[in-house]
């Protein structure tokens, strides 16, 4: 199970990396979004995917899945959402100002 998910994470990272290396700003952001998916999955997997109850006390049985990675992922999801939202608006503004989303066109000047 863990191995399978890990391979899936590898595929997602590969795709994300390829998108980040592209010239289009939206693709880059899509890449970072994919990367955060991969990271969340990774966090989950590293915590172990053993069977057990959902971490709600009062469930029957006394074996629960690890609750700590879940708390970490919850934090990470919210933060990556905030960053993605900000990035998207940034791209929007950048396009408004420079009329392009091609990274090769909006690169820095030679003298800088």
Residues 30-59 that bind another protein (CB under 8 A): 30, 33-34, 37-38, 40-42, 44-58
Which lies closer to another protein via its Cβ, residue 60 or residue 88? 88
**Least distance CB 37 / another protein (angstroms):** 5
Q: What are phi and psi of 53, to 5 degrees?
A: -80, 160
Q: Distances from the Cα of 110 to the Cαs of 23, 33, 104, 106, in angstroms? A: 19, 31, 13, 12
Measured N-to-C along each axis, helices 25-46 and 2-20 cross at an angle, to the nearest 10 degrees, of 160
**Least distance CB 60 / another protein (angstroms):** 13
- DSSP, collapsed to helix, strand or coil, labels residue 82 as helix
State how far the Cα of 73 lies from the Cα of 77, in Å rounded to an integer. Answer: 6
**Least distance CB 112 / another protein (angstroms):** 8
Cα Rg, the chain, nearest whole Å? 19
**Least distance CB 16 / another protein (angstroms):** 8
For position 15 contacting another protein by CB under 8 A, the verdict is yes
Range 68-107, binding another protein (CB under 8 A): 68, 70-71, 73-75, 77-79, 81-86, 88-93, 95-97, 101-104, 107
């Amino acid at each position: 199970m863990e191995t399978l998910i890990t391979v899936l994470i590898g595929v997602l990272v590969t795709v994300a990396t390829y998108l980040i290396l592209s010239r289009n700003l939206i693709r880059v952001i899509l890449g970072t979004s994919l990367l955060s998916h991969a990271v969340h999955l990774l966090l989950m997997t590293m915590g172990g995917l053993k069977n057990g109850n959902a971490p709600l006390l009062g469930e029957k049985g006394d074996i629960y899945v690890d609750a700590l990675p879940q708390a970490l992922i919850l934090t990470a999801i919210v933060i990556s959402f905030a960053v993605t939202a900000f990035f998207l608006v940034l791209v929007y503004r950048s396009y408004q100002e420079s009329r392009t989303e091609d990274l090769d066109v909006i690169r820095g000047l030679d003298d800088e």
